[in-house]
Each structure stands twice: as structure tokens, then as C-alpha cells.
């Protein structure tokens, strides 16, 4: 077999652009005599790789006593089988596994003998999961690191022997699992006093702070403290931030925590390399909203680590929507675009093929729809979690004895209807391999600021910010992105901290502005405008930099624009000729008109100015709207559509059904149009699209009919080539 590599566009086998198609099969949950049958089923379903955890919990059941040759846990034999069947393998040796295993896959003796490794809340007390599903450790605790290193030294050479360059199956290895989840989901970061060095002059946290602000005087100034020594500079609990100085301290601890995670990741990467692992290393971000938390990890492990993401839509009753809804799709779009922004081929390392809950169910047609929509938003790699169910080794399950998971293949090896949904989607990937090299056809851009995604939600200090960063992030997703999709624009997402925004001046740029924006990002927006760019910014022009210090680079360039909260007369706004625009959030009026500015939006009754068009020096144009919204009304679509047209945008798709989304991808030779019905009702539409492959001529598709929760893939030449409902059999699901 050839090794697996990747670049920023896709995965590669030798020089060939391919989709990575993994299936999660746990050797420790499947009887050894059935391993081959499960692997064959994966291959027959179109998979090219098997992925598995290698649980520390099972392989070191007593401290220092490693079990590596038990037939039920014989990873050597399992990986040999993979090679024999010509399946790649990705191994995930932890230390964390999660996987609904006891202690999240950590050995019980670790917690019993080394309670000091437990992560701590801000008051220094251990972080404990009430339902026992997880264990939170302090990643960099010396005991945890030492024991992890010993585990790695035992297991990695075994795994290394099965690497592709030695003629075997392993093409990648994963470090840890869903980093930060065990802390974040408890609503706390790790504040382990020893590990983080809190209250210790030479501790990690004081040193981090000192490096940032030079000396104690600088720290005291930044935090408005009168600390007598660095040891007295303590972190602050997030809800306690009521001033900008306190917010600065809260955000510094966040950045510090992310940096610690990055150092832990870097350590695991180093140990992987020291223990003969030469294949690419990977990691899975637990959830799209956490992707921004990985900025430090991505930077520290640049060139060594591929970050992917997990894309669940329904793990239990209280999950949002329980279906591959538009909300889910917008999360997936954001996730794929953020990974692309980091420079990775977007991959979904845990794609739901089943769920830890039997109910609400993952149905084949929902699943096929989810797979299709992920492809539509740029997915280049997928790993079905789990592909085959099994039985938990005695006493190691946290959700059940049988890890059935409603998987495509049952614990006893039978094929279920979901298998066909997986296989049917994989056939599409196989038949349309060129899509691995394709990129989105876009007609507008949404600039994003990762800082916004890292900001805590709803802090008391928010009152001091016209527009808090987290609200701007929410507006970016639920306003700018959803509205442009509903208006049938195709946004490309661009990291404002990169120079990418300067590479395509012709296309209009939408930005959700917060009161806080990094000086570098403000400067880049100025450069974009100076170069003739077309900017649509809402709801505020930033006035603070990333350190919450005054910074009006953009505001000054826009003629000294100033905004203030608008005491509204009635909650509607008029933009140009479009009246009655519902605003779901804050409303900000302009204190005065910069010279030459043109008023384009006013409040309903009294004429407060809430929208300006400004032509700053350089030929660019900025539209600044003093309001934000969640996508809910045709008026929102009309405003965005009109502003994008006025900014010179040229839509590539026209569709007469505002409830459908359509997105195209092309490799320059071929184009594929994805049509998404993410509602539980059938939908019809007429669709035209402008194909760059055909001299940008408008192509009209035949009348479109989609079933409930259906994604279709259309080739402008061949016609409809894939329907998620057909791929899933569409026949109804029995017990």
C-alpha cells in the first residue's frame, strides 16, 4: 500500500488526490475471530482505512503491568489483518480515549494511586464529573506525563512496527482525544495550582503573564492590581470580570490555558516521534465551536499535526435539533472553513454512524443527508464513528454493556440499513474522486476573527462593550452566514488575521464587527479598503485592540466614525427601500456623519441614523450597519442581497425556494452543485447557476424536487447523480 499524505487541498495517496474514508472498529469490542469479517465489511462499504482507539485502560490494567498479548486485545494481529486486507489503519493510543469507556479510557489505578493529577477548578478543588462519564486530569501534571510517557513507550513501538513504510497498515496516529473537552464541558478550565504554578513566583502562569507585560509593574498596570509579587497575580473566574482590566486577566488565562494544551500536545507529538512513529499525526477537535481554541496547538505543532473535527448532530434528547438541520449544516460549514483556514484539508474524524443513545435515533436517511451536506461544505476526509458495534470488556462501559451504538454493523456482525447509507455515500466519493481536489465556488467572503470564537459568553463586563466579541461571533454565524446562504449567496470564510483577505479584492467582504478587534486585523481591513475592497461591516466599528486597549485604526480611517447605543423608538430599521427589518440584537446609531458619508439606514419612526456608506481614501467602499440580526426574515435576505450586489458581487446561483441551500464545488474541469433540503418536508425549486467551467454561462437545471431532509448532488452535464434518500434506501426503519 502507498502512504497517506496531505496538503492544504486534500489527502493524497502518492500523487493522487483522494478522500480519506475511515471506519471506526474497536478490536477490543469485537471478538477476535470476527475481526476479519468486520474489516471486510468496511472495505466493501468503500472504506479505505480502519480507525481504532488503543485503550490504556485495557492494556495497562494494573500499574506497570502491560497486557499486550491477550488474544482479545491483540493489536498486532488486528493491524496485521488490516494490512492483509489492504486497509489503512489509524491508531488512537490516547492517553485519553473517551469512547464511552470507564474513566474516559484512563486506567483506574491512575486515578486511585495518583489523585493529585486531577484537574482543578479556580478554587483549587478537583473538577469532578457528576455522572462519572469523564475524568478530568491536568494534562501537564508531572505524574500524568510520566505515566503517559511510559504507556507511550510500551505501545508506540508496537504500533510503529505496523507503519506503512514498513509494509504494514498504519498511516497515521492520533494524539489524545478531543483535547480540552474534559475541562470545557464541565464549565471550567484547569487551574491546577501546582501544574499551572498559580501563586508560585516561578510558576507557569506568573511566567506567562510576566512575559506578556514585562515586569510586575506592567502586570499591575494591565490588571489594575497592586500585587506585591508575581505570586500574588492570580487568575480570575470568568463570571467575575466586571472591568476591562479584569476581562484582560480572564482572557490572558484562557490564552495561557490554550498554550498549556499546545505544549502538552507538543510533548505528545515529541514522544510519538521519539518512539518511532513516523507517519502523520492527527487530532480531532471535539466540536466546531472549539476549533478556535486550537490556534496555539496548531501553531506549536505546525507541520507535525493534522487537526480534524468531530461532527455529531444527535447524541441524546437534549442535543440541538437531533437532525442534520440548517443549524448543524452551518456549524459544519464553519468547521470545515476554519480547518481550511488553518491550512488543513477539512476532515471529519468522527462522523456519526450511530449514536451512544438509541433514541432519538440516527436514521439512515438523516445520516446520508448529514454526509452529503458535509461534502457540500468541503469535507475531504471522513471517519464513521462507529462503523461496527461490539461488547464492552466487562466493567468498562459507561453507557451500557453492549456498545451497540446503532452502528452500520451490529455487535454480532449483521449489516443494518445504516450500512447502505454509508456505502452509498462512499460510492459517491469513489465515483467523483475529482471532488477531492475541488474547491468551493464562492461569490462573497465572510471575514472571521478567531478571537471572537474564544471569548466567553455573557460576562458581566459585556455591558462596557457596545458589542461583545462572542455576540459578534454569533452574529457572524446566525446572521451573516445564514442570511447569505438563505439568499443563495455562497460565502467563503477568510481569517482576518491572515493576508488572504488582500488576495481577492473584487469580491465583497462581510465582517461581524465587535468592539474588540486585533490591531493587525483592523490594519488589514484598512489595507483591503485602500486597495479598493468592498466591505460590509456590522454592527460596530472596533474601538479596542486585542488587549482591550483603545485602538481606532479602522474607525479613524473611516472618517472618525463613532457609534452609540440607540434608544430605539420601535424595533424596526429601514435600509434603503427595504423597510421593516427586524433586529434581534443591539442597535447603534452614528454620533455624527463623517464627511462624504451617505446615510443608508434609519430607525422606523424617529430618524436615527443606523447605516452609512463611506468612501475612504483609496477607492474602496465601506458600508457600516449599526445593527445585527439572526436570520429569520426575507427582509434580512433582501438587505444582504442588495448590499452584496451594490458592492459588485455577482451571485453564482439563483434559486426560487428560499428554504433550500445550494452550493457548488469545482476543480476547474468539472463542477458539482449540491442542493440541500434540511427540513422535514419535501421541497421544490427552480435553480440556475453560473458555471465557471462553461465561461460563466447561466445553466438552468431541470425542475428540482427534494424529499424531506435530502441532499442532492447535480452535475450540470449529467444531471442528478446522487440523492441522500436513495443512497439510504428510503424504506423506513424497524426495530
Using CB under 8 A as the binding rule, the residues of this chain from 674 to 703 that contact a copy of itself are 679-685
> Residue 437 and residue 422: Cα distance in Å, rounded?
21
Degrees (nearest 5) of the Cα angle 467, 473, 475?
A: 75
**Among 59, 568, 628, 641, which residue sits at the site for a copy of itself (rule: CB under 8 A)?**
568
Q: Does 659 bind a copy of itself (CB under 8 A)?
A: yes
What is the nearest approach in angstroms of a copy of itself to the Cβ of residue 625? 16
Binding span for a copy of itself by CB under 8 A among 75-83, 154-162, 577-585, 589-597: 577-585
Which DSSP symbol is given to 495? E
Q: Does 730 bind a copy of itself (CB under 8 A)?
A: yes
- Footprint on residues 86-145 left by a copy of itself (CB under 8 A): 102, 130-133
- Footprint on residues 159-218 left by a copy of itself (CB under 8 A): none
Q: Does 463 bind a copy of itself (CB under 8 A)?
A: no
Q: Does 46 bind a copy of itself (CB under 8 A)?
A: no
Report the sign of the C-alpha dihedral through residues 87, 90, 92, 98, in that order.
Answer: negative
Nearer to a copy of itself, 157 or 658 (CB): 658
**Among 115, 142, 228, 571, which residue sits at the site for a copy of itself (rule: CB under 8 A)?**
571
17's enclosing H/E stretch is strand 16-18
Binding span for a copy of itself by CB under 8 A among 240-248, 253-261, 459-467, 654-662: 654-662
Residue tagged 442532492 (cell numbers): 712
What is the nearest approach in angstroms of a copy of itself to the Cβ of residue 653? 14
Residue tagged 427601500 (cell numbers): 577
Nearest to 198 by CA among 120, 132, 113: 120
What is the nearest approach in angstroms of a copy of itself to the Cβ of residue 584? 6
Hey, what's the cell of 688? 440556475
- Footprint on residues 375-414 left by a copy of itself (CB under 8 A): 395, 397-402
Size of the site for a copy of itself (CB under 8 A): 78
Nearer to a copy of itself, 218 or 682 (CB): 682
* Ramachandran region, residue 68 (left: φ > 0; alpha: ψ -120 to 50; beta: rest): alpha
Nearer to a copy of itself, 615 or 657 (CB): 657
Q: Does 594 bind a copy of itself (CB under 8 A)?
A: no
3-class state of residue 564 by DSSP: strand
3's enclosing H/E stretch is none
What is the nearest approach in angstroms of a copy of itself to the Cβ of residue 398? 5
- Footprint on residues 238-257 left by a copy of itself (CB under 8 A): none
What is the nearest approach in angstroms of a copy of itself to the Cβ of residue 662? 14
Each residue of 572-599: b (16+ CB within 10 Å) or e? ebbbbebeebebbbbbbbbeeebeebee
Q: Are 536 and 509 in contact (CB under 8 A)?
A: yes
Q: Does 505 bind a copy of itself (CB under 8 A)?
A: no
Q: Does 712 bind a copy of itself (CB under 8 A)?
A: no
Binding span for a copy of itself by CB under 8 A among 200-208, 338-346, 692-700, 705-713: 705-713
What is the nearest approach in angstroms of a copy of itself to the Cβ of residue 711? 12
What is the nearest approach in angstroms of a copy of itself to the Cβ of residue 166? 39
Distances from the Cα of 649 to the Cα of 96, 193, 226, 510, 634, angstroms: 47, 53, 53, 11, 19
- Footprint on residues 302-321 left by a copy of itself (CB under 8 A): 316-318, 321
> Residue 282 and residue 218: Cα distance in Å, rounded?
39
3-class state of residue 615 by DSSP: coil
Kind of pairing between the strands at 609-614 and 671-677: unpaired
Residue 303 CB partners (closer than 8 Å, separation 6+): none
Beta bridge partners, 563, equal 590
Amino acid at each position: 500500500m502507498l502512504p497517506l499524505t496531505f496538503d492544504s487541498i486534500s489527502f493524497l495517496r502518492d500523487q493522487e488526490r483522494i478522500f480519506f474514508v475511515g471506519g471506526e472498529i474497536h478490536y477490543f469490542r469485537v471478538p477476535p475471530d470476527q475481526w476479519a469479517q468486520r474489516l471486510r465489511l468496511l472495505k466493501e462499504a468503500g472504506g479505505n482505512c480502519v480507525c481504532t482507539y488503543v485503550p490504556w485502560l485495557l492494556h495497562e490494567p494494573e500499574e506497570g503491568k502491560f497486557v499486550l498479548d491477550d488474544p482479545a486485545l491483540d493489536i498486532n494481529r488486528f493491524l496485521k489483518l488490516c494490512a492483509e486486507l489492504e486497509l489503512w489503519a489509524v491508531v488512537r493510543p490516547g492517553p485519553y480515549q473517551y469512547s464511552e469507556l470507564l474513566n474516559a479510557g484512563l486506567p483506574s489505578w491512575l486515578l486511585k494511586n495518583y489523585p493529585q493529577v486531577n484537574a482543578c477548578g479556580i478554587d483549587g478543588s478537583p473538577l469532578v464529573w457528576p455522572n462519572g462519564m469523564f475524568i478530568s486530569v491536568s494534562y501537564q501534571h508531572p505524574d500524568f506525563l510520566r505515566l503517559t510517557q511510559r504507556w507511550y513507550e510500551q505501545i508506540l513501538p508496537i504500533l510503529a512496527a505496523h507503519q506503512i513504510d514498513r509494509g504494514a497498515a498504519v498511516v497515521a496516529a492520533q494524539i489524545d482525544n478531543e483535547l480540552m473537552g474534559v475541562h470545557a464541558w464541565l464549565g471550567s478550565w484547569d487551574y491546577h495550582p501546582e501544574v499551572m504554578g498559580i501563586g508560585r513566583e516561578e510558576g507557569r502562569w506568573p511566567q506567562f503573564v510576566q512575559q506578556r507585560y514585562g515586569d510586575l509593574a506592567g502586570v499591575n498596570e494591565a490588571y489594575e492590581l497592586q500585587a506585591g509579587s508575581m505570586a500574588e497575580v492570580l487568575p480570575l473566574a470568568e463570571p467575575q470580570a466586571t472591568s476591562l482590566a479584569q476581562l484582560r486577566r480572564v482572557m490572558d488565562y484562557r490564552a495561557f490555558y490554550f498554550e498549556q494544551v499546545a505544549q502538552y500536545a507538543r510533548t505528545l507529538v515529541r514522544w510519538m516521534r521519539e518512539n518511532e512513529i513516523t507517519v502523520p499525526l492527527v487530532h480531532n477537535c471535539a466540536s466546531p465551536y472549539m476549533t478556535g481554541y486550537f490556534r496555539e496547538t496548531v501553531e506549536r505543532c505546525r507541520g507535525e499535526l493534522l487537526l480534524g473535527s468531530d461532527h455529531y448532530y444527535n447524541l441524546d434528547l437534549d442535543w440541538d435539533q437531533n437532525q442534520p438541520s440548517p443549524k448543524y449544516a452551518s456549524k459544519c460549514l464553519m468547521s470545515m472553513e476554519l480547518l481550511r483556514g488553518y491550512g488543513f484539508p477539512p476532515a471529519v474524524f468522527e462522523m456519526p454512524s450511530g449514536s451512544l443513545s438509541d433514541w432519538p435515533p440516527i436514521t439512515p436517511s438523516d445520516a446520508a443527508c448529514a454526509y452529503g451536506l458535509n461534502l457540500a461544505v468541503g469535507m475531504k476526509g471522513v471517519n464513521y464513528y462507529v462503523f461496527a458495534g461490539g461488547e464492552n470488556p466487562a466493567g468498562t462501559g459507561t453507557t451500557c454493556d453492549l456498545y451497540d451504538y446503532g452502528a452500520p454493523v451490529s455487535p454480532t456482525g449483521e449489516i443494518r440499513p445504516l450500512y447502505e447509507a454509508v456505502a452509498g455515500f462512499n460510492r459517491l466519493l469513489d465515483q467523483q474522486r475529482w471532488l477531492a481536489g475541488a474547491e468551493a465556488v464562492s461569490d462573497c467572503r465572510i471575514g472571521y476573527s478567531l478571537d471572537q470564537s474564544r471569548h466567553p459568553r455573557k460576562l458581566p463586563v459585556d455591558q462596557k462593550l457596545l458589542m461583545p466579541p462572542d455576540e459578534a461571533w454569533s452574529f457572524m454565524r446566525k446572521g451573516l452566514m445564514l442570511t447569505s446562504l438563505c439568499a443563495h449567496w455562497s460565502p467563503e470564510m477568510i481569517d482576518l488575521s491572515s493576508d488572504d483577505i488582500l488576495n481577492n479584492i473584487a469580491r465583497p467582504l462581510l465582517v461581524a464587527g465587535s468592539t474588540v478587534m486585533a490591531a493587525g486585523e483592523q490594519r488589514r481591513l484598512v489595507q483591503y479598503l485602500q486597495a479598493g475592497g468592498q466591505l460590509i461591516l456590522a454592527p460596530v466599528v472596533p474601538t479596542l485592540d486585542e488587549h482591550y486597549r483603545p485602538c481606532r485604526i479602522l474607525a479613524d480611517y473611516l472618517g472618525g466614525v463613532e457609534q452609540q447605543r440607540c434608544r430605539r423608538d420601535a424595533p424596526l430599521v429601514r435600509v434603503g427601500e427595504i423597510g421593516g427589518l427586524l433586529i434581534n440584537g443591539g442597535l447603534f446609531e452614528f454620533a455624527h456623519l463623517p464627511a462624504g458619508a451617505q446615510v443608508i439606514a434609519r430607525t422606523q419612526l424617529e430618524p436615527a441614523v443606523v447605516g452609512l456608506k463611506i468612501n475612504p481614501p483609496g477607492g474602496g467602499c465601506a458600508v457600516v450597519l449599526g445593527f445585527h440580526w439572526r436570520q429569520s426574515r426575507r427582509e434580512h435576505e433582501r438587505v444582504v442581497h442588495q448590499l452584496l450586489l451594490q458592492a459588485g458581487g455577482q451571485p453564482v446561483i439563483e434559486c426560487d425556494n428560499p428554504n433550500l441551500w445550494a452550493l457548488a464545488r469545482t476543480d476547474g474541469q468539472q463542477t458539482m452543485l449540491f442542493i440541500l433540503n434540511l427540513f422535514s418536508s419535501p421541497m421544490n425549486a427552480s435553480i440556475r447557476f453560473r458555471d465557471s467551467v462553461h465561461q460563466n454561462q447561466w445553466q438552468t437545471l431541470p425542475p428540482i424536487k427534494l424529499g424531506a431532509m435530502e441532499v442532492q448532488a447535480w452535475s450540470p452535464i449529467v444531471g442528478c447523480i446522487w440523492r441522500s434518500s436513495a443512497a439510504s434506501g428510503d424504506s423506513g426503519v424497524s426495530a
